Amino acid sequence: MSKIIVQKFGGTSVGSEERIAAVAKIVKEASKNNPIVVVVSAMSGETNRLINLAKSFGDNPSKREFDALISTGEKVSAALLAMALHQIDVPAKSYSASQISMKTTDSYSKARILDVDGEKIQETLDAGIIPIITGFQGITESGDVTTLGRGGSDTTAVAIAAQMHAERCDIYTDVDGIYTTDPRVVPEAKKIDVITMEEMLEMAGQGAKVIQIRAVEFANKYKVPVRVLSSFESGNGTLISLEENNMENGLVSGIAFQKDQVKFTLHGVSDTPGMAYGILGPLSDANIEVDVIVQNVSINGKTDFTFTVSKEDESYALETIKSINTSLEYDDLLVDSNIAKVSLVGVGMRTHAGIASTAFKALSDSGINIQMISTSEIKITIVIDENATEEAVSSLHKAFELDK
Ligand code: ADP
Ligand code: ASP
Ligand code: MG
């Protein structure tokens, strides 16, 4: 018997009645060859609408109720898609997170998937019915609804694919694959046919929102092949490959960028053992992810300590730092929310030198000032002024001939 394929449809793919009908046809077609499990996002714009609605009753709504609210969009699209399938004579049933026991941690809005009831899904398939599962959400041990962070339906899909030992997880979206950078920002961006898991982890981790980072982490951990493709047009899309890529790689495979970042600088902290931990420990305890971290050389026993967090964590991070006990002394705390991160990613960086200097020259030629730099084996991240993001991405894209 052929193996299961999980198909995930994003917001624009189910953005209207017509789109849902089109998706139903894709599902019907695929179900002729493989057992299909479907995961859906909310109709496009719906999650944003719900988030705005939540603001009607204060800036800090209860985290539990917030997740209960913003998870509802996926229920709508799941039920509608089931109806659309019924209309073309395909048996289907929608399932919410609680109906398939999609268990997560209890950190609301950032919950992590722990476990899912594969038996329920299998029983449905065995009865000849296509399960349509709500993406983006789960339940805690005590049954409260949680959500997985923006773009979290990708992660639901890959987690289910892992649990069901699926042949593959197909992520249907509004672009026909993964590009060298966001094609909406750089029209010259080129579609990539095969990208390594390692590169995709860095691209997604650095903001390429085409697939959520947690989804790639799951795929990597449980060895699930993932394909990203369009629900609007046919084509093979991009395969995120589990194989080590032995082909000759270019220097840089792709460029990711992330706005909505905030830079915190603790100016004049005393340079003593435990200082970095004294700052980053409480942030980590508060479940705030810190990214680029730079500590300067100290002068007279004092130094500057700078790091970035995502904008949604800004006020929480500020609160956390201010509440750190008096053992942390500093002269000044500067917060800059006008920044962006631009990252070059490529396994070719391992074996080639001179990538950083090419990047710095391109930015210098465009008159863009570099505020922070951080590197890893296959990535260079540069922090710049937010207003220069598009220009920086375009000039780097050109400098590394990704348009060729
Ligand atoms: P969905 O609603 O289907 O989950 P998303 O909006 O989350 O879709 O992700 C698709 C979008 O990701 C594309 O429309 C594109 O603008 C953006 N994107 C960012 N980086 C890339 C990239 N490197 N390749 C393709 N798309 C990208
Ligand atoms: N609907 C959710 C969001 O907009 C989840 C998703 O689309 O993956 O973030
Ligand atoms: Mg998405």
Cβ of 231 less than 6 Å from ligand 1: no
Among 153, 158, 209, 214, the mutation site with the greatest number of ligand 1 atoms within 8 A of its Cβ is: 209
Which residue positions in the chain have pLDDT lower than 70? 245-249, 325-326
For the chain, domain boundaries: 5-174, 255-399
Residue 341 in contact with residue 308, Cβ under 8 Å? yes
Q: Top-level CATH class of 5-174?
A: alpha beta
Q: Please report the pLDDT score of residue 367 as a whole number.
A: 98
Ligand nearest to the CA of 12: 1
pTM score over 0.75: yes
Q: Ligand 2, residue 151: give the atom nearest the CA.
A: 8
- What does the block give as tokens for 48? 């944003």
Nearest alpha-carbon partner for 40 in 9, 69, 12? 9
Cβ of 44 less than 6 Å from ligand 2: no
Cα(237)–Cα(226) distance, rounded to whole angstroms?
Answer: 10
CA separation, residue 124 to residues 94, 137, 153, 184, 186 (Å):
10, 20, 20, 39, 43
Cα(364)–Cα(74) distance, rounded to whole angstroms?
Answer: 45
Architecture of the domain defined by 255-399: 2-Layer Sandwich (3.30)
List, for residues 318-329, the tens digit of each pLDDT value.
999 998 866 788
Q: Ligand 2, residue 149: give the atom nearest the CA.
A: 9
CA separation, residue 5 to residues 78, 124, 167, 310, 394 (Å):
17, 14, 6, 34, 36
Q: Please report the pLDDT score of residue 324 as a whole number.
A: 85
Q: Please report the pLDDT score of residue 196 as a whole number.
A: 92
Cβ of 179 less than 6 Å from ligand 1: yes
Ligand nearest to the CA of 209: 1
Cβ of 131 less than 6 Å from ligand 2: no
Q: Please report the pLDDT score of residue 18 as a whole number.
A: 98
Rounded to the nearest angstrom, the distance between the alpha carbon of 44 and the centre of ligand 2 is: 8
